[in-house]
Amino acid sequence: MNKRKLLSLPYLIWMIGFTVIPLLMILWYGFQGKNGGFTLEHILAIGRPEHLGPLLVSLLLSVICTVVCLLIAYPLALILRKAGLKRSSFVIFIFILPMWMNFLLRTYAWLNLLDDGGLVYVFLQKLGYKGNIVGTYGAILLGMVYNYLPFMVLPLYNAMTKIDDNTLNAARDLGANERQVNFRVIMPLTFPGIVSGVTMVFVPSLTTFVVSDLLGGRKIFLIGNIIEQEFSTASNWNLGAGLSFVLMIFILLSMAVLNHYDTLGEEDDG
């Protein structure tokens, strides 16, 4: 065994133990009937109203979250690139700093801010808003955007820092204005960063259940909450695995579409 194979051995063991085997267990439980035989009952259960509704809501919220994060992160990454290394490094550090805290604690912090008596709640009450914030789709979306925004900013900023200033200056010398430089030069060159950021935001927002559980006030259930309850509360691992398999198919399809457009973008650049 050469050194390269020897160095890859720990990674191979990790992949088998924590990726391949869990996926095989999901397949095993998902396609297993009550009598131990093969069945599609748990896979087709996604078509039930109590499952299809949360799935569609999860898809809608994850798409909105991804679009909002992109609209916020792209101009921010562009500003950071123009600000210089020292200033942008400090702002990036501010974005990364909350990620050092546990995901659950960050969500609880927003729960305290949005719940009755919280800072944001009191502020909105003074502006004339009279309803509850916790237990709404807006609160869930806010929590998702806050938690996943850094995963959009970092790949975009990383892609933009790799753009040579001479490329942008050449475009300006050829008569391109700032709008044309941004949309016809910078955006195509940062397309791999956009694809990476969209993937890193869409996938966890689609599968989340902690944000909806806390900020949804246990009133709004996404598909992640349904799967979590099947495993923990109902102890129906077969149904939970079947729903997880369907959700995994959605994720793989979305990643395949994104990878397709990423490949097209690289061909256009070439």
Token output for 156: 């975009």
Residue 94, domain member (yes or no):
yes
Instruction: Taking residues 218-226, report their average pLDDT.
Output: 92
Cβ-count burial of 142 within 10 angstroms (0-12 exposed, 13-18 middle, 19+ buried)?
buried
Token output for 174: 């050829």
Residue 33, domain member (yes or no):
no
The C-alpha atoms of residue 3 and residue 152 are separated, in whole angstroms, by 36
Residue 25, domain member (yes or no):
no
In the chain, how many domains are there?
Answer: 1
The C-alpha atoms of residue 177 and residue 52 are separated, in whole angstroms, by 48
CB 50 within 8 A of CB 221: no
pLDDT surpassing 70 at residue 265: no
Q: What is the pLDDT of residue 178?
A: 85
Instruction: Taking residues 178-204, report their average pLDDT.
Output: 90
Query: Strand, helix or coil at 32?
Result: strand
Q: What is the CATH number of the domain that holds 137?
A: 1.10.3720.10
For the stretch 85-95, pLDDT in tens is: 666 777 778 77
Q: Domain range holding 190? A: 54-269
For the stretch 16-40, pLDDT in tens is: 999 899 999 999 999 998 888 899 9
pLDDT surpassing 80 at residue 47: yes
CB 136 within 8 A of CB 242: no
Q: What is the pLDDT of residue 264?
A: 57
CB 188 within 8 A of CB 212: no
Closest CA to 161 of 193, 196, 199, 195: 193
For the stretch 150-175, pLDDT in tens is: 999 999 999 998 888 898 889 888 88
